[in-house]
A = this chain, B = another copy of it.
Amino acid sequence: MSGKTIITIGREYGSGGREIGEQLAKELNIPFYDKELIALAAKKSGMSEEIFSDIDEKATNSLLYSLATGAYALGSRMSPMSDMPITDKLFILQSNLIKEMAQEGSCVIVGRCGDYVLRECPHVLNVFVHAPLEYRVQRVKEVYGVESGAQEAVRKTDKRRASYYSYYSSKKWGQASNYHLSLDSAKLGLSGCIQLLKTTIDLLEK
């Protein structure tokens, strides 16, 4: 790629959105951020990565939950965010990191409301990857080796992502108008999605 493009990817669980993003970043030779964000955020804040993993992408909004998990007390080291639920703190930390990454140059960012966080950024391409439920359940079984309860896992993860997204962005997760490009990975294939994204980036950089 010749110019600067930040690709954010929202994805239904099991759709292959993360894999598409990872492969795209590889082919374009640009950084890829997903779980890495958590580690980076954890290091920056001094909080343990375990806590971050546990609450990541859950919009808890409840002070009680933070108190119950003991996460709230940890926050007292941090000012001026010390009277804020830990989920919101994590969101702010990750948002700042995402903005820094976008400033540095082209990259792929999966999840974490990247499209919303970078809503003021002109070089962003917001993508949503989805697929029919039966395709995703089958893929979760095959790729992640989940034997039983795959459908339940897919439904629960989607529900969690949807509520995380709407809690922080006040928009509806998976609504076409929130993204520049939405792709059905079952119809188009993972490599087809990657090819379409590359064509789109070429178009935008012209």
Contacts and interface: CB of A to CB of B under 8 A. Distances in A.
A146 interface: no
Task: Please state the number of chain copies in the assembly.
Answer: 2
A56 interface: no
A181 B180 contact: no
Given A196-B199, A199-B195, A181 B188 contact: yes
Contacts of A29: none
Interface string A175-189: 111011111100111
Contacts of A132: 177
A180 B175 contact: no
A5 to B, nearest CB: 12
A179 B184 contact: yes
Task: Give the interface centre of A132, A176, A179, A187 by most chain B CB atoms within 10 Å.
Answer: A176
B187 A180 contact: yes
A189 B174 CA distance: 22
Contact of A203 (B130, B176, B188): B188
A31 interface: no
Interface in A124-140: 125, 128, 130, 132
Top 5 nearest A-B pairs by Cβ distance? A176-B182, A182-B182, A180-B184, A180-B187, A176-B176
